[in-house]
Amino acid sequence: MISDDIIVVGSCMIDFVSYAPRLPKPGETIHGSKFVTNFGGKGANQCVAAANLVVGDDVWGRKYIDNLKTENWHSPNKCVRLGENQIVIVAGANKALNVQDVENAQNVISGAAVVVLQLETSVDVAIRAIQLCKGVC
């Protein structure tokens, strides 16, 4: 039986972010304006977004949920900040996630309504999760 659960097979990361007016050239040192750390990882961010998705408990909230279920919804008007990023990933435990770990979660994955993947784990892990999913990937 398919549940209404959303399962995310992905990463939990700590982001170390430096803000600078531009990227340094090879061998160059530049001054940044700010340094922050954040909880991140595409998988963790998707979990938080899914857990926090709410609409009002009224006729319009129910209509909105119905609309999301029936439409291939997207927004043509996006707010975009201009800039570039460069990402270095130290995979750590994410690299250790393997096909056997996915097999061990077969009951949860095969019973989920949705399985979300983002390839911050190995391709083999993602492929096996897709094979086990009976809902939407």
Query: Has residue 81 been placed in a domain?
Result: no
Query: Has residue 106 been placed in a domain?
Result: yes
| Residue written as token pair 């600078």 | 20
Which range of residues forms the domain containing residue 62? 6-24+33-73+92-132
Query: Has residue 50 been placed in a domain?
Result: yes
CB 121 within 8 A of CB 107: no
Q: What is the pLDDT of residue 75?
A: 41
Structure tokens at 121: 């784990």
Query: Has residue 40 been placed in a domain?
Result: yes
Is residue 42 classed as helix, strand or coil in its secondary structure? helix
Query: Has residue 59 been placed in a domain?
Result: yes
As a whole number, mean pLDDT of residues 76-88 equals 58
What pTM was estimated for this model as a whole?
0.64
Query: Has residue 87 been placed in a domain?
Result: no
- Domain tally, the chain: 1
Q: What is the pLDDT of residue 99?
A: 96
CB 75 within 8 A of CB 98: no
Instruction: Specify the range with the lowest mean pLDDT, choosing from 35-39, 91-95, 126-130.
Output: 91-95
Query: Has residue 128 been placed in a domain?
Result: yes
